[in-house]
Amino acid sequence: MSSPHISLNEQRYVNEAFKANWIAPVGPHIDAFENNLSKISNNYHVAALNSGTAAIHLALLVLGVKRNDNVICSSFTFAASTNPIVYLGARPVLIDSEKETWNMCPNLLEKAIVELSAKNEKPKAIVLVHLYGCPAKLTEIISISKKYNIPIIEDAAEAIGSTFDDKPLGTFGDLGVFSFNGNKIITTSSGGALISKNTSFIKKAKFLATQAREDSPHYEHKEIGYNYRMSNVCAAIGLGQLEVLNKRVEKRRYIYDYYKNKLSEIKQIKFLDELPGYVSNRWLTTILFEEGAVIKRETVRLNLLKDNIESRPLWKPMHLQPVFKDCQVFENGVSEDIFNRGLCLPSGSNMNDLDLNRVIENIKTLHES
Ligand SMILES: *Cc1c(COP(=O)(O)O)cnc(C)c1O
């Protein structure tokens, strides 16, 4: 559905790393990768890490989240947004979606904060996800975050290269998270990054990511640390990938438009259009089958599979996951409904028009039969 798409220079930078024997979680490619990522992220400070999940975990740690704290999180997301809250013994409070971007509903967010604060359980942080690359309702959510003085961790794991009011996603919150896993829009095979305007946050994150080793000739430790730094070899891949990020975004947006043009004659299939000021990297093209549609999501998915084409239902909301069934949830039914009717189409930037036509013909033939 979204396979790695390597360009011209990745192999060259990896060879450089081998030649110089920088096969370690330290080295010049990590420094260059952090610099170049900073350049496209408002010159924010950057910590290159070995996963996006590690970045979320460290973000919660630097914000001081502790056992039994409440942490707000988008419910419509991948489990990696929520798991790190539980690593800390804190409690995820899951917030349902609004219909225009499918991301965290600002009304439910404020309701949750007010209700929890009244019980003297004010949430410590907000994990805000931009799903499939589409910006969340940032204006509303940032103003709520300011009103109640609760920091935002922007989970932009799927949204590098997306913008809101011409500003890159990941730079709106107190901390921003990217993922460079193999299925994301650019990849380091496995990897992630934490970014922030705040120098001390990133300094602390790098310290915790290297086993919380104190500055001393011997190994001195005063805190519990983690092994979360990115490998220099992975950073070398990332350097090449960053060079083509804009091209990858362009191609994913082309794929979305292509599907939309060719499939919109089927009236029962709906696309998620962008609101003014919102630019999505269109990591995955997603479609919704209208309620009562003759062709159903699963029929389409299975018919694609018969033709050896992978598609997938949307993320199953966290409040419907067995592992999070005891979490508090502020619900409105939106994400459950979208989950039931939605499908992710093959969206890899290495697909050509013939590949796209194969998917489109498969769906059209099923619709006509
Ligand atoms: C991929 C992803 C993550 C986690 O990133 P990894 O690098 O795979 O650990 C977190 N949140 C969301 C929304 C993701 O899609």
Please state the atom number of ligand 1 nearest to the C-alpha of residue 56. Answer: 10
- pLDDT more than 70, % of the chain: 100
Q: Compute, in angstroms, the gap from residue 109 CA to the centroid of ligand 1.
A: 22
What is the per-residue burial (b if ≥16 Cβ within 10 Å, else e) of 204-235? bbbbbbeeeeeeeeeeeeeeebbebbbbbbbb
Query: What are the tokens at 147?
Result: 């009103």
Whole-model pTM above 0.75? yes
> Which domains, ranges and CATH numbers included, belong to the chain?
8-244 (3.40.640.10), 246-368 (3.90.1150.10)
Q: Which position has the token pair 């309702």?
A: 137
DSSP code per residue over 144-181: HHHHHT--EEEE-TT-TT-EETTEETTSSSSEEEEE--
Cα gap 10→133, rounded to integer Å: 24
Average pLDDT over residues 226-234: 98
Pocket lining for ligand 1, CB < 6 angstroms: 51-53, 77-78, 80-81, 129, 155, 157-158, 179, 181, 192
Q: Compute, in angstroms, the gap from residue 52 CA to the centroid of ligand 1.
A: 5
Average pLDDT over residues 55-64: 98
Position 366 confidence tier, pLDDT thresholds 50, 70, 90: confident
User: For the chain, what's the residue count?
Assistant: 369
Position 293 confidence tier, pLDDT thresholds 50, 70, 90: confident
pLDDT of residue 367: 78
For residue 210, give the 3-state DSSP assignment: strand
Whether 243 shows a pLDDT value over 80: the answer reads yes
- pLDDT more than 90, % of the chain: 97
Query: What are the tokens at 215?
Result: 């500055």
pLDDT of residue 291: 84
Return the residue whose CA atom lies nearest to atom 5 of ligand 1.
Answer: 52
Cα gap 124→90, rounded to integer Å: 10
User: In a mutational test of the pocket of ligand 1, which residue from 81, 94, 183, 187 has the highest number of ligand atoms less than 8 Å from its CB?
Assistant: 81
Q: Are 131 and 315 in contact (CB under 8 A)?
A: yes
pLDDT of residue 14: 98
Please state the atom number of ligand 1 nearest to the C-alpha of residue 80. Answer: 10
Cα gap 338→41, rounded to integer Å: 31
Give the torsion through C-alpha atoms of 174, 318, 48, 18, to 10 deg: -170
DSSP code per residue over 293-362: -SS-HHHHHHHHHHTT---EEPPPPGGGSGGGTTSEEE--SHHHHHHHHEEEPP--TT--HHHHHHHHHH
Please state the atom number of ligand 1 nearest to the C-alpha of residue 192. Answer: 7
* C-alpha closest to that of 194 among 212, 180, 213, 211: 180
Query: What are the tokens at 202?
Result: 């990133």
Give the torsion through C-alpha atoms of 129, 130, 133, 138, to 10 deg: -160
